[in-house]
């Protein structure tokens, strides 16, 4: 198809191509007489002229593209974060290229190499582990990185995520107020900051409320998934530690508990209460509706996009971390503990 060129626009506006180019670029428009600029813009519009950002990106070394590295888009945590990121990038003229790593380091490495070969101006990374040599290596090579949801030890880059400690303490306090004294925490993988921070916050909360801190009350899941949560709850139930309340590392882990409740005939919340973390969609329609620590994920995405754009504009600005405040959504999966013997004791 025949598309109009810069030269066509210049001819229609009766100006030199260089003038048309300056008028069409928002960053150089003020170098051109205002009336001339308007004439060029009108000519461009009536011809249906579209600037070629690929040609422009070669000149300016700017692709106006950002790489978005997530574990798996089908985890309901990520779509609202991705929308938030795109809602910030879009109006700024940037687009995101999304890759899914399935939490596989080899896949992550090749996906990031592919993003870099497309000249992305930075990476927004939601797959960070506490030890993450690849991210440190990218950082040393000067790649702009914003971490979302999770952080990496010793990596001086901006990050945005939920305030894990506040979230867990809200969950534990709610359960204590209902009368629970015997807790377990089904933690996310402890090689992630979210897994570790929530586990530490759980232990602090037990201490604060003067509750039993037996290390067996903390069971780590292999994955942030229903299967991971189900396996961890089975281990907790088969351990000698009694409990009436489960603080799950995230909502998927809590959903895995529902499967085990069905499997072993445990009534929730009558015998065991459960609290999730994240506030993914449709939790209010579950059986029972899941009490959860709700995180404003769209806002997490907005902030992450904003931070990346800032790091493009001001590369020397010191890194900062944004923690977004959680709130507790109380629903049917939490209730006062029943008198009598408790789960794990059978």
Q: How many CB atoms lie within 10 A of CB 2?
A: 5
Strands ordered across the beta sheet of 218-220: 218-220, 183-187, 245-248, 273-278, 291-294, 327-329
Query: Residue 160, interface with a copy of itself (CB under 8 A)?
Result: no
Residue from 15, 39, 44, 80 binding a copy of itself (CB under 8 A)? 80
Task: Please give the DSSP secondary-structure letter assigned to residue 118.
Answer: T
Query: Residue 121, interface with a copy of itself (CB under 8 A)?
Result: no
For the CA atoms of 250, 256, 258, 259, the dihedral, rounded to the nearest 10 degrees, stands at 170
Within residues 246-285, the interface with a copy of itself by CB under 8 A covers: 255, 258, 281-282, 285
CA angle, corner 329, sides to 325 and 332, nearest 5? Answer: 160
Residue from 26, 106, 141, 314 binding a copy of itself (CB under 8 A)? 141
**Beta-carbon-side half-sphere exposure of residue 258 (alpha carbons within 13 Å):** 19
Query: Residue 291, interface with a copy of itself (CB under 8 A)?
Result: no
Rounded CA gap, 43 and 76, in Å? 45
Rounded CA gap, 177 and 173, in Å? 6
Q: Based on CB atoms, which residue is closest to a copy of itself, 66 or 343?
A: 66
Q: Based on CB atoms, which residue is closest to a copy of itself, 289 or 296?
A: 289
Shortest separation between residue 100's beta carbon and a copy of itself, angstroms = 6
**Residue in 297, 285, 302 with CA at minimum distance from that of residue 250:** 297
Q: Based on CB atoms, which residue is closest to a copy of itself, 124 or 130?
A: 124
Shortest separation between residue 284's beta carbon and a copy of itself, angstroms = 9
> Token match 């109009």: residue?
4
Q: Based on CB atoms, which residue is closest to a copy of itself, 118 or 346?
A: 118
Query: Residue 95, interface with a copy of itself (CB under 8 A)?
Result: yes
Contact 177, 211 (CB under 8 A): no
Query: Residue 133, interface with a copy of itself (CB under 8 A)?
Result: no
Query: Residue 90, interface with a copy of itself (CB under 8 A)?
Result: yes
Residue from 289, 312, 319, 336 binding a copy of itself (CB under 8 A)? 289
Shortest separation between residue 171's beta carbon and a copy of itself, angstroms = 20
Query: Residue 286, interface with a copy of itself (CB under 8 A)?
Result: yes
Shortest separation between residue 316's beta carbon and a copy of itself, angstroms = 15
When computed from its CA atoms, the radius of gyration of the chain, rounded to whole angstroms, is 26
Query: Residue 1, interface with a copy of itself (CB under 8 A)?
Result: yes
188 cis-preceded (ω within 30 degrees of 0): no
Contact 119, 63 (CB under 8 A): yes
Within residues 41-70, the interface with a copy of itself by CB under 8 A covers: 50-55, 57-58, 63
Q: Based on CB atoms, which residue is closest to a copy of itself, 139 or 209?
A: 139
Q: Based on CB atoms, which residue is closest to a copy of itself, 80 or 158?
A: 80
Shortest separation between residue 281's beta carbon and a copy of itself, angstroms = 7
Rounded CA gap, 109 and 192, in Å? 18
Q: How many residues bind a copy of itself (CB under 8 A)?
A: 45
The H or E element spanning position 274 is strand 273-278
Contact 293, 185 (CB under 8 A): no
Query: Residue 313, interface with a copy of itself (CB under 8 A)?
Result: no
Shortest separation between residue 203's beta carbon and a copy of itself, angstroms = 29
Residue 257, phi then psi, degrees to nearest 5: -60, -40
Shortest separation between residue 69's beta carbon and a copy of itself, angstroms = 13
Rounded CA gap, 308 and 312, in Å? 6
Q: Given the rule CB under 8 A, which residues bind a copy of itself?
A: 1, 50-55, 57-58, 63, 72-74, 76, 78-80, 82-83, 86, 90, 95-100, 111, 113-114, 116-119, 141-142, 255, 258, 281-282, 285-289
């Amino acid at each position: 198809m025949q598309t109009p060129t810069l030269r066509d626009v210049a001819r229609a506006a009766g100006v030199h191509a260089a003038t048309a180019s300056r008028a069409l670029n928002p960053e150089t428009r003020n170098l051109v007489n205002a009336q001339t600029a308007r004439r060029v813009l009108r000519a461009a519009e009536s011809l249906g002229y579209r600037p070629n950002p690929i040609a422009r990106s070669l000149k300016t070394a700017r692709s106006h593209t950002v790489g978005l590295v997530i574990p798996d888009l089908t985890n309901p945590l990520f779509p609202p974060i991705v929308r938030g990121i795109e809602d910030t990038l879009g109006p700024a003229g940037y687009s995101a290229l999304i890759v899914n790593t399935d939490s596989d380091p080899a896949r992550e490495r090749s996906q990031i190499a592919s993003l870099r070969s497309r000249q992305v101006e930075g990476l927004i990374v939601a797959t960070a582990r506490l030890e993450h040599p690849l991210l440190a290596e990218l950082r040393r090579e000067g790649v702009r990185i914003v971490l979302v949801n999770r952080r990496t030890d010793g990596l001086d880059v901006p990050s945005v995520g939920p305030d894990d400690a506040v979230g867990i303490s809200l969950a534990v306090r709610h359960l204590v107020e209902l009368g629970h004294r015997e807790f377990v925490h089904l933690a996310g993988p402890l090689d992630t900051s979210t897994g570790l921070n929530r586990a530490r916050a759980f232990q602090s909360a037990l201490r604060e409320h003067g509750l039993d801190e037996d290390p067996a009350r903390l069971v780590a899941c292999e994955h942030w998934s229903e299967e991971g949560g189900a396996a961890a709850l089975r281990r907790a139930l088969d351990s000698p530690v009694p409990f009436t309340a489960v603080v799950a590392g995230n909502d998927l882990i809590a959903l895995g508990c529902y499967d085990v409740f069905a499997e072993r005939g445990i009534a929730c919340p009558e015998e065991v209460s459960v609290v999730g973390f994240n506030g993914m969609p449709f939790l209010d329609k579950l059986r029972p509706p899941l009490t959860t620590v709700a995180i404003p994920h769209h806002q997490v995405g907005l902030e992450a996009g904003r931070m990346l754009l800032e790091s493009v504009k001001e590369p020397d600005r010191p890194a900062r971390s944004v923690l977004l405040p959680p709130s507790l959504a109380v629903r049917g999966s939490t209730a006062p503990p029943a008198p009598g013997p408790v789960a794990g004791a059978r």
